[in-house]
Structure 1
Amino acid sequence: MDKNLLLQDVLAHLQADLEQATLAALSAHEAATHEENVAENKYDTLGLEAAYLASGQARRVEELRQTLITWRQLRPRPFDDAQGIELGALIQLLDEQDEERWLFLGPQGASMKLQQAGHTIQVLGSAAPLGRALLGKAVGDEVRFGEQCFEVLAVE
């Protein structure tokens, strides 16, 4: 599997999410500032509710911008046994039910599933509990995540 293609897929998904969130934020802002939403009495809260929504949408846009910037800076490198698993690693795990899972470890903020070479790859941030548990591990290591236990089968 190609980590650089996976990174491009993550960036494309994040860009699409940012565009969608930006449109939602603009729409919410227009609703909050529209003349029909001016309060007519103290019980008329439609404008206030629209303003809260617009504020939340604006925060979401900024979070996505920051996530996109962080992910654009990621440069996946070949696995180094001396360093162990680090950001940009493509990891194959085996769970206790002998099911294999593929993970692509990156910065926080981009949880999604991607398809490549007939495999489903879970994109996972290093701040996630499993992501933190994987950092520094190598092939053959066991990783505990809550009640679950995984074996690291391969790292690219």
Structure 2
Amino acid sequence: MNKSDLRQIILNKLEQRLQVALSATQRAIDAATDEETVPEHKYDTLALEASYLAHGQAIRVQECEDDIRSYRELVFRESESITMTSYLVVVDEDDNEKHFFIGPSAGGLSVDWQGHDVSILTVNAPLGQALMGKEAGDEAEFNVAGTSYIYEILCII
């Protein structure tokens, strides 16, 4: 199993996100600077709202660029226990298998890799925190909104 291939798939998806964010930013800038958004009276806030949106979109572009940079600089580590860059397969209480990759950012992003839906977890997520340092055969228990979840770790790559 080559994690470099997985990283490239993640980078491709992050690049797609960046392109969408860049396009949205440009549309917001165009709307903020369009002559039709010039205020007609003191209560006309269309241009101001458009500029706030453009600023928010620019921040999103920066976040996308930061995510891409963090994956390009990622150093893979081999370990018996779960660490950053671990690929793992877990099973929940209903015997549903789930595949995760512990990454530096972009938590929640899912990619298709080798026929599996792989979700990215960060160490800041409740499940990511519960899994860190565990080994194959261990169980990880965590709570979200008062509901308890338990996963058994089948394998770590």
TM-score of the superposition, structure 2-length normalised?
0.91
SS at match of 1:101: strand
What are the superposed Cα offsets for residues 122-145 of structure 1, whole Å, 9 maximum, x if unpaired?
Answer: 122222111121111111111012
**Number of equivalenced pairs:** 153
State the match for 2:101 in structure 1: 104
Given that 2:106 and 2:120 are in contact with CA atoms closer than 8 Å, whether structure 1 keeps it comes out as no
**1:152 — aligned with what?**
153
Aligned to 2:118, what secondary structure does the other structure show? Answer: strand
The equivalent residue for 1:121 is 118
- 1:37 — aligned with what? 37
Q: Give structure 1 stretches of 5+ with no counterpart.
A: none
Q: CA deviation at 1:49?
A: 1.1
> Match for residue 11 of structure 2?
11
Q: How far, CA to CA, are the matches of 1:9 and 1:126 in structure 2?
A: 21
> After alignment, is 1-10 or 142-151 more displaced?
1-10
* Equivalent-residue separation in structure 2 for 1:71 and 1:142 (angstroms): 28
Determine the C-alpha separation between the residues in 2 that align with 1:118 and 1:111.
18
Kept after mapping to 2: 8 A contact 1:90/1:105 = yes
Quickly say closer, same or farther: Cα 1:120–1:109, change in 2 above 3 A.
closer
- Please report how far the alpha carbon of residue 109 of structure 1 lies from its aligned counterpart in structure 2 after TM superposition: 2.2
Q: Deviation at 1:36?
A: 1.4
Q: Give 2:25's aligned residue.
A: 25
SS in 2 for 1:77: coil
* TM alignment of 1:72-91, pairs within 5 A: 72-78=72-78, 80-81=79-80, 84-91=81-88
2:140–2:150 CA contact under 8 A, matched in 1: yes
Residue identity matched to 2:102:
L
Alignment identity in percent?
41
User: What SS does the corresponding residue of 1:32 show, helix, strand or coil?
Assistant: helix
**2:85 aligned with 1:93:** no
Query: Cα deviations across residues 10-62 of structure 1 (Å, max 9, x unaligned)?
Result: 11111111111011111111110122111110121111111111011011011
Structure 2: runs of 5 or more not aligned: none
1:108, 1:127 within 8 Å by CA — same for their partners in 2? Answer: no
Q: 2:134 aligns with which of 130, 133, 137?
A: 137
Q: Report runs of 4+ in structure 1 exceeding 6 Å deviation.
A: none
